[in-house]
Chain A
Amino acid sequence: MIKRNISRRGLMKGAAVAGVGLAAPQFFIRGAYAYTNEPKGGSVILGFNVPQTGAYADEGADELRAYQLAVEHLNGEGDGGMLNTFSSKALKGSGVLGKKVEFVTGDTQTKSDAARASAKRMIEKDGAVMITGGSSSGVAIAVQGLCQEAGVIFMAGLTHSNDTTGKDKRANGFRHFFNTEMSGAALGPVLKNAYGTDRKAYHLTADYTWGWSQEGSIKKYTEQLGWETTAAVRTPLGAGDFSQYITPVLNSGADVLVLNHYGKDMVNSLTQAVQFGLRDKQVNGKDFAIIVPLYSRLMAQGAGENVKGILGSTNWHWSLQDEGSVAFVKSFGQKYGFPPSQAAHTCYCQALLYADAAERAGTFMPSEVGKALEGFTFDGLGNGPTEYRASDHQCFKDVLVVRGKENPTSNYDLLEVVEVTPRAQVEYPAEMLGGELGPYNNGA
């Protein structure tokens, strides 16, 4: 899906450039391509790599909508959205560095190998200078590694595992989304208030990097409260029918079920847990509780009635009333007729943040764009004051704790914000999660 208009003049220019290139001596050619896919014409190509099929396809569809909106705003079409509220004023709605923003898309299929293949295609064949998107930590880590080798910037989409900016972090990779460590730190105090300190938790965990990471973080913070972990059971990604994993919960003596599932898996496991009567059950003289540590409105919509009263954390929610969120919901809602999800929000932000960094750096060269992002503090993108930490390329900002609404007023009004946990409370030292950024790779 490349939108490129070849005009006679463009063709002549291209031919002239090619002629000069051929005529130039060898060392001059090396200089001509300072980094992978250096944009030479009047446009710059971004690669949007999102799941269009598979367990996280809903998120992927919404991410793509957000990217299309971001491209419009960057090129000065539409109402400008969060460009107007963004604290950095480098972008003027005239593309990036005077070049029109164009894009190509790929389908990650929520599988690491397919995601790498589509990212590779966009870099090698379509000439994308940056890859962004995705809705799985397994995919994000795989694509991040590929982008590091290829010498392009990777702006991660929805990925929540600690490892993306922890043990598997790379210099060319950047993440705006929060992680399981922050979810655990934010949920801890809320869980203590809601359910007390004497609880027995049973985990069902999606069996891949994100699931393990989230299980670890929630265990860590709930055990600090004095909770016991009865069992932690791994379930295959995309299992569909979780009943065989839910029936053992009924008589395990546990009084809390933690669902470390996301997307379609969470919709199925939560729906089935409620069908088995877990939400209305009494165990050890307490009301049984279900917790979904990573929540999204899309999932809440899929699970319908079943989300009522269930606690979790989220990166962003459309009902927020700050200037940036209102502007984003307005332009997204007017274009598509429904509010954006957290996946859409983080992807839109990543596209803007990349464009802004390139504009400020004066080049698309990965090492220079990276330096412009490192330690960058900004506001007006819906999460309050935010910092891209230099030591691990992770954004730090407030975290939202949300609960399924008891009386939703519309199909989209399903979650209510219970608490905004301040950034200071969820911050941790970069060394804690291990890993090495290593040097930037500019490719070429």
Chain B
Amino acid sequence: MFPAWMLETMDAILLQVLNGLDKGGAYALIALGLTLIFGTLGVVNFAHGALFMLGAFCAVTLKEILSWEMVTIDPTQKTAWGTPLEVRTPYIEAWLGDAGSFILDYSVPFSILFAIPIMLVIGIVMERGLIKHFYKRPHVEQILVTFGLAIVLQEIVKSVFGANPIPQPAPDMLSGSADIGAFFGLPANTVVYPYWRMVYLAFSGVVIAGVFAFLQFTTFGMVVRAGMADRETVGLLGIDIDRRFTIVFGLAAVVAGLAGVMYTPILSPDYHMGMDFLVLSFVVVVVGGMGSLGGAVAAGFLLGILQSFASMNEVKSIFPGIDQIIIYLIAVVILLVRPRGLMGRKGVMEG
């Protein structure tokens, strides 16, 4: 139906789009939380990457708890260095049998349930304990204090879990890859894509839709949106907007944390992963337009896809090294053409 070269290019393009979408999913989730906090509280939160990292370590912690091992010594066998062989079985398997193995295998999805309350508490404590004292201060001071907080959180995680990445396997059933090409009518085995990355993409879509629905269709969301537009008037109407904003901060922490939990099978988490994503997420927020939720999501996916395309050999042979600077290049171009970003509103951070 198509000539061979066209099929091949289509395969390659389809793959890079998919790849860009799930990268974009992670960028969009982090940027969404950043924008929520900036839009409601007016705080530039440099500790947001650390929240993403803490989410990932919720998954690590749950896995560690689940795999606490019962050590029995087998005196009949010896190790190569002459001590008796230790036989290790996780307690949960010893107690629950197959159900235990199932929970252990699906520890990453189960971590979502574990991470939601923890991230909510962390978010609320962070806001009440530290960030609320900086609302009236200039942005520069907010950046300093949140950046410092990020470093503190990072060092705590490093001292507890060590500096090395900790692998978190995806559930066995979802660790292979699917033949997407066949689904689109292409020859079999030309376009294959890992299941877990598709799960991640779907998951980020669900979370983004959830956040938007919450803000659009609930009274709580309506008040928050009103507060984003004009905080003082909402306060004058007798609504305790501060309390609601605290909850929004918690919500943003949960979104970042869940993005981190589900990302662990793709990238083994270490204490530094938050910082790696933070800079990119800020670029995403700026490109999308400060304070615009839709812009953050759109820019997240856009930059993910462009970054993915920039890594193709055909592109790299024309512009060597483009894969490493593409994001910043796009940011420069967009800010030159549209100084408020893609969907930025007038008056945000302008005075």
Residue of A57, A304, A318 touching B80 (CB-CB under 8 A): A318
Decide: B15 and A282 in contact? CB cutoff 8 A: no
Bound form: Cα–Cα A281–B176 in Å: 12
Chain B residue with Cβ nearest A247: B15
Decide: A275 and B23 in contact? CB cutoff 8 A: no
Query: Is A333's beta carbon under 8 Å from chain B?
Result: yes
Binary contact readout B77-103 vs A (1 if CB under 8 angstroms, 0 otherwise):
001111100000000000000000000
Bound form: Cα–Cα A236–B307 in Å: 14
List 28 A-B pairs, Cβ < 8 Å: A240-B273, A243-B19, A243-B23, A243-B197, A243-B266, A244-B20, A244-B23, A247-B15, A247-B18, A248-B12, A251-B8, A251-B12, A251-B15, A251-B190, A272-B194, A275-B177, A275-B194, A275-B197, A276-B193, A282-B189, A302-B165, A302-B268, A304-B169, A331-B81, A332-B81, A333-B79, A334-B83, A339-B80
Residue of B176, B189, B323 touching A244 (CB-CB under 8 A): B323
Question: Which residues in B have their C-beta under 8 angstroms from that of A57?
Answer: 163-164
Decide: B268 and A52 in contact? CB cutoff 8 A: no
Decide: A333 and B19 in contact? CB cutoff 8 A: no
Residue of B15, B81, B323 touching A250 (CB-CB under 8 A): B15
Which one of B221-229, B248-256, B309-317 contacts A? B309-317
Bound form: Cα–Cα A267–B94 in Å: 30
Main secondary structure of the interface of A (DSSP, over half): helix
Bound form: Cα–Cα A236–B322 in Å: 12
Query: Is A53's beta carbon under 8 Å from chain B?
Result: yes
Q: How large is the interface on A (under 10, 10 to 19, 20 to 34, 35 or more residues)?
A: 35 or more
Query: Is A319's beta carbon under 8 Å from chain B?
Result: yes
Bound form: Cα–Cα A371–B307 in Å: 53
Bound form: Cα–Cα A264–B12 in Å: 27
Closest-CB distance, B12 to chain A (whole angstroms): 5
Closest-CB distance, B229 to chain A (whole angstroms): 37
Knowing A241-B23, A248-B12, A251-B15, the reply to whether A304 touches B81 (Cβ < 8 A) is no
Residue of B8, B82, B167, B276 touching A330 (CB-CB under 8 A): B82
Query: Is A58's beta carbon under 8 Å from chain B?
Result: yes
Question: Which residues in B have their C-beta under 8 angstroms from that of A156?
Answer: none
Q: How large is the interface on B (under 10, 10 to 19, 20 to 34, 35 or more residues)?
A: 35 or more
Closest-CB distance, A286 to chain B (whole angstroms): 14
Question: Which residues in B have their C-beta under 8 angstroms from that of A304?
Answer: 167, 169
Bound form: Cα–Cα A436–B194 in Å: 49
Bound form: Cα–Cα A243–B83 in Å: 42
Query: Is A98's beta carbon under 8 Å from chain B?
Result: no
Residues on A lying within 8 angstroms of B by beta carbon are 52-54, 57-58, 61, 231, 233, 236, 240-241, 243-245, 247-248, 250-252, 264, 267-268, 271-272, 275-277, 281-282, 302, 304, 318-319, 326, 329-334, 337, 339
Bound form: Cα–Cα A280–B196 in Å: 17
Chain A residue with Cβ nearest B158: A53
Bound form: Cα–Cα A244–B267 in Å: 13
Decide: A251 and B167 in contact? CB cutoff 8 A: no
Question: Which residues in A have their C-beta under 8 angstroms from that of B23?
Answer: 241, 243-244
Binary contact readout B10-21 vs A (1 if CB under 8 angstroms, 0 otherwise):
011001101110
Chain A residue with Cβ nearest B20: A244
Query: Is B111's beta carbon under 8 Å from chain A?
Result: no
Question: Which residues in B have their C-beta under 8 angstroms from that of A248?
Answer: 12, 15-16, 311-313
